[in-house]
Amino acid sequence: MKTWIKDIVNKVDEVVPLAGWVANRRDHGKLIFIDLRDRSGVCQVVFGPWSGEEIYAQAQKLRSEWVIQIQGLIKKRPENMVNADLPTGTVEVDVKELTIINESQTPPFPLEGDGYEIDEEARMKYKYLDLRRDRLQKNLALRHRVIKFIRDYLDTEGFYEVETPILTKSTPEGARDYVVPSRLYTGSFYALPQSPQQYKQLLMASGVEKYFQIARCFRDEDTRGDRQPEFTQMDLEMSFVEREDVMRLNEQLLITLVQTLLPEKKIQQIPFPRITYKEAMEKYGTDRPDMRENKEDKNLLAFCWVIDFPFFERVDDPSTGSGQEGWTFTHNPFSQPKPEHLTWLMQKEKIGEILTTQYDVALNGFEIGGGSIRAHNPQVLTTVFEIMGYQSETIQKNFGHMLEAFSYGTPSHGGIAWGLDRLLAILQNEPNIREVIPFPKTGDARDLMMSAPSELDPKQLQELHIEIHTKKV
Ligand code: ASP
């Protein structure tokens, strides 16, 4: 088993096994220096005539990104040779044995540096190379630590992580679904979940009481800003709670997470300020205000809650195509209205004035999460769909399972989902979520490394009962 490079500073005068990639090679006459890199760090490795003829000859062949394994003596560097920029700069490695594990072509772009200046499509095509760079390794590490922290924290709070299906039925989150054709049921399709919304509510009907999931969500949206066709939510739902309970738990989780994992960050205001949707729009012109007092400070985190959103907004009714106006939900059709507006909802009056129990959490001008207390009474949910103009047949067909579940003793419940990629991007001061997603897609939904989406074999299409008609131009 090899030794992590970061640990060699504690192994002076020991011979240890190291393995990794040649970050670069410098020839100085008889001396050859390489920087050897593994996931944990970089160290200087020295070859000279004393290394022996065979090792020295092999060292001359080494090039960037070759993978090698060595047995190396860790030597303390003389005071004047210490490299203060390198965590392992107090030592260097004298090679006793060298094995070349694999050679490498010259990488299509440099792997040193942060890489922002490199064409992003090239970085995506060779993502496995791009990920070798220090910045992206750090992003992967933080992602891992944040997810682990969430899991441990919520476990202590009594939550179960429950996996919910990926092959499922369309959910109304306001975006287009990705669909998967069924081979066994000609003409039928699964939909990939836009979020686990319905399943998590059904888990409350199942008596789970406290659920969370690091959940992948899929939304087939046209290129719109910094979106990804698939992204990750920290999804959570709790039974027997009020708005205050969900907000308090999430606020505490965010604060503890930041203070534990990123102690250099400063949270501007604790408890997080709260602002109504109306105030936010009037004062900031947006429902995700940037409340930072100093926007230059890279370590300042200004969280805030936005509450009291309108439940419905007006839309052109697409089902009639008549341009006639109808209503749609602003956030989540499964929400419960604010208690004082329940009567309006049930009587379908003052629809534009009904406020929902929705709460959003914003950070530095981005929405990083949102949720609500849900309707658990079938009549309330039915009325929401009626206001949106759904016929009872459609309601039964699409949401009959929810209404039925609610008729079997479903507890009151509420929850939230965080956009985990967005949160990580802000915590890492990254300009977009693609930098914190291990294998992101392009803005127009392509995976350049795998060349997806791609065509299917005629045989596969036949099995799926699908014929492709390409438009003749
Ligand atoms: N499912 C919602 C969403 O994806 C979040 C929630 O209300 O829990 O936006």
Question: What is the per-residue pLDDT across 399-425, written as a single tens digit (0 to 9) for each?
Answer: 999 999 999 999 999 999 999 999 999
- CB of 368 sitting under 6 A from ligand 1: no
Q: Of 158-167, 246-255, 297-306, 317-326, where does mean pLDDT reach its minimum?
A: 317-326
pLDDT (0 to 100) of residue 266: 98
d(CA 100, CA 94): 16
Distance CA 314, CA 328 (A): 6
Which of 365, 367, 418 lies closest to 250 in space, CA to CA? 418
Q: What pLDDT does residue 23 have? A: 97
Partners of 454 in the beta sheet?
none
Pocket test residue of 173, 195, 287, 307 for ligand 1, highest count of atoms within 8 A of CB: 195
Cβ-proximal residues to 317 (8 Å cutoff; 6+ apart), any chain? 324, 325, 326, 389
- Ligand 1 atom closest to Cα of residue 237: 8
User: Which residue's alpha carbon is nearest to atom 1 within ligand 1?
Assistant: 197
**323 has a pLDDT exceeding 60:** no
CB of 88 closer than 6 angstroms to any ligand 1 atom: no
For residue 379, pLDDT over 60 is answered with: yes
Contact (Cβ atoms closer than 8 angstroms) between residue 367 and residue 309? no
Beta carbon of 417 within 6 Å of any ligand 1 atom = yes
Cα 416 to chain center, whole Å? 15
127 pLDDT more than 60: yes
Question: Looking at ligand 1, which atom is closest to the CA of residue 371?
Answer: 7
Query: Which tokens sit at 167?
Result: 């092959």
CA 219 to centroid of ligand 1, rounded, Å: 13
pLDDT at 325: 74
Show the tokens assigned to 144.
Answer: 């891992």
Model confidence at 226, in pLDDT bands (50, 70, 90)? confident
Domains of the chain in start order, with CATH, are: 5-102 (2.40.50.140), 127-435 (3.30.930.10)
Rounded to the nearest angstrom, the distance between the alpha carbon of 371 and the centre of ligand 1 is 5
389-410 as b/e: b if 16+ CB within 10 A:
bbeeeebeeebeebbebbeeeb
Closest-lying ligand 1 atom to the alpha carbon of residue 415: 8
Mean pLDDT for the stretch of residues 39-50: 96
Residue entry with tokens 């959570």? 236
Cβ–Cβ < 8 Å for 331, 309: yes
Q: Tell me: the pLDDT tens digits for 168-222? A: 987 666 789 999 999 999 999 999 999 999 999 999 999 999 999 999 999 998 8
For ligand 1, whether the C-beta of 197 sits within 6 Å is: yes
How far, in Å, CA of 173 to CA of 169, rounded? 12
User: What ligand 1 atom has the least distance to the C-alpha of 358?
Assistant: 7
CA atoms within 13 A on the CB side of 152: 9
Task: Indicate the top mutation candidate among 233, 250, 359 to test ligand 1's pocket, ranked by most ligand atoms within 8 A of CB.
Answer: 233
State how far the Cα of 210 lies from the Cα of 413, in Å rounded to an integer: 10
Alpha carbon 58 to chain centroid distance? 43
Cβ burial of 18 (10 Å; 0-12, 13-18, 19+) is buried
